[in-house]
Structure 1
Amino acid sequence: MPEPESQEDASQQQTDAERRRRRAQFLRERAEARALRDRVQPRRAKVARLRHAMRMRTFRW
């Protein structure tokens, strides 16, 4: 008879794998949407790149 903890660990690993898979899918879709937006609105994309660069320059480690 399997212990309850081992069943719980197995289900936890399964849900972690599922969560990572969903997160990877979300990040892929977000990157795709961002790339599409950048192609459609190049001026806004340029401004966003400049703003991000400024933020990174002023970031304190």
Structure 2
Amino acid sequence: MPDGAQQKRGGPDPQEPDPQETDAQRRRRRAQFLRELHEAKALRDRVQPRRVKAARMRQAMRMRTFRW
């Protein structure tokens, strides 16, 4: 596959950092991602309360059996 065809299909490699991207831009994108992730988890918790309760119970059991 020629290089030109690959650039048309997928564009730049998402794993490769953009050389012009500054640390501030990277932190801004990361903060946005974490906000969206937190929002998605909160939504999932609201629509699946039984699963959330079970997860809380498992976490409580882990904390009770943890030895310092």
Place the TM-score, normalised by the shorter chain, in its bin: 0.5 to 0.7
* TM norm structure 1: 0.59
What percentage of residue pairs aligned between the two structures are identical? Answer: 71
**Which structure: greater helix fraction?**
1
Q: Name which of 34, 44, 52 aligns with 2:41.
A: 34
Structure 1 residues 59, 18: CA separation in 2 closer, same or farther (over 3 Å shift)?
farther
In 2, the alpha carbon distance for the partners of 1:42 and 1:51 equals 14
* Greater relative contact order, per chain length (Cα 8 Å cut-off, separation 6+): 1
Q: Any gaps of 5 or more consecutive residues in structure 2?
A: 1-19
Q: How many residues align?
A: 48
Q: Any gaps of 5 or more consecutive residues in structure 1?
A: 1-10
* TM norm structure 2: 0.54
Superposed CA deviations along residues 7-27 of structure 1, whole A, max 9, x for unmatched, are xxxx67x2x111111111111
